[in-house]
Amino acid sequence: MDIKRMTRKTIIYYGIPLAVVAVVIGICAQSLFWTVYGLIKNGFSPALLVVQVLSVLAAVLLVFYFIKRLVPFCKVFYYIKKVNDFHYSVNMSNRCLMLDGAPGTGKTFSSIYLACYQSVLLWEELITQYLLHMPYAARYLDEYERGVSDIWIAYKAVFDSIVFYNENGYIPCCYSNIKFIFQGKEPIPLTLAHFQQRKRFAEYNVKLCDEMAELLPNTMRTNNGFKDTLNVNDINNYLSMFRQYDEGHMILNDQRGTEVFKGARSVFNVTDYLIEQVSVMPPRFLKRLYAFIIGRLKRKGVNTSRKLSDFLFRLDALIKDIGFRRFYYVRTVGAEGRMKNDKEIHSYVLPCDVPFEYDDRARRNEYKAKDLPLETH
């Protein structure tokens, strides 16, 4: 997750006016220098005096404007530091994070960002563990065959996982029940069978479960019709022991946290209730330009050209990539029954230009009435 790449467009957008003003100030300073030089060399001249006064006024105004543009430019680096702080704050020892909150507060965006970031860290750790233990592979196998040690099983699981991640064409170390694209790849599909222990997880993984109550509802134990087929006890066993089973991490989100299976709620280390997300440092000039062109688009009506539409699509994409998102949340620490509520409102900052793509309306086809005719009665 390259923060420089993710914030490049924002830096350029706020840096260009600053650079232009600095160049103009330099030109004014040069003009002022030669005006003063002309006065010294040739004596007093009304024309040169007028040029000098105008140059001074222009330079003063430009300096004030430069300072005005310098403030938001410095803010960009302040928020870049906030993004760095968020990266450093990601505690890999917290094996299970739950994001709760109302629709539109940023649960899915934050979950995917965390899953991508953790998958990179886990892949690096997996490779490191393999390289560290590879020279001892023969010894591990010999000790295992003699019944002295089981470390061969752990080493083989690491080796099998590296082969699996390299060959399957998916994001290494990342499982998810929603689709997104990161580094040109999709996550490994996460299914109920994984939690039932009917499908094996590879080692050092992060599991992203979006709207978890749909996959693991709190009615599993009381629904007699599905109790046996769901293997509820196996699910509960996996959720309790997943760190030991596959060195895994879980990122879960739902807007109905209490409707999630109790076996899952009991292992949440941290629950962040997202309150809202706000746009920080949006490109106001580009937004005004977009609104102006949209006004012309509406006046043209059906006569809109494809070129204009393409330009607006690209402009809208650029606007969405500039700036940052700030998320406000309240944190609860501890599993269900041992929770400690923190009443203080916290926040974290993420860049708008992220290295993943996802459809924030991916579930539109699940709408049961989508094919029905529109009617008023």
The CATH number linked to 256 is 3.40.50
Query: Does the model's pTM come out above 0.95?
Result: no
Residues 165 and 34 in one domain: no
Tokens linked to 242: 């997943």
Question: Nearest 5°: phi and psi at 254?
Answer: -165, 145
Q: Is residue 291 part of a domain?
A: no
Residues 116 and 251 in one domain: yes
What is the tally of structural domains in the chain? 2
- Please report, in tens digits, the pLDDT of each residue of the chain (377 residues total): 788 899 999 999 999 888 887 777 777 766 666 566 655 666 555 665 566 666 667 777 777 777 888 888 999 999 999 999 888 887 666 778 888 888 888 888 999 999 999 999 999 999 999 999 999 999 989 888 888 888 899 999 999 999 999 998 899 999 999 999 998 999 999 998 998 899 999 999 999 998 887 887 777 766 655 555 567 888 888 888 888 888 889 888 887 666 777 777 777 777 888 999 999 999 999 999 999 888 877 776 666 778 888 888 999 999 999 999 999 998 887 655 555 666 788 899 999 999 999 888 777 888 888 888 988 87
- Residues 242 and 202: beta-carbon distance below 8 Å: no
The Cα 24–Cα 18 span in angstroms is: 10
CA distances 333 to 50, 147, 297, 349, Å, are 70, 42, 51, 21
Q: Which of 278, 298, 327 is the last residue of a domain?
A: 278
Partner residues linked to 100 by β-bridges: 254, 273
Residues 224 and 146 in one domain: yes
Residues 103 and 77 in one domain: no
Residues 36 and 119 in one domain: no
Burial of 258 per CB tally in 10 Å (0-12, 13-18, 19+): exposed
Tokens linked to 160: 């099998």
First to last CA, the chain: 51
Residues 73 and 10 in one domain: yes
**Between β-strands 174-176 and 96-101, what pairing exists: parallel, antiparallel or unpaired?**
unpaired
Residue that has been written with the tokens 């509520």 in this structure: 341
Residues 80 and 36 in one domain: yes
The conformation of residue 140, written as its DSSP 8-state character, comes to H
> Structural domain of residue 260, as residue ranges?
92-278
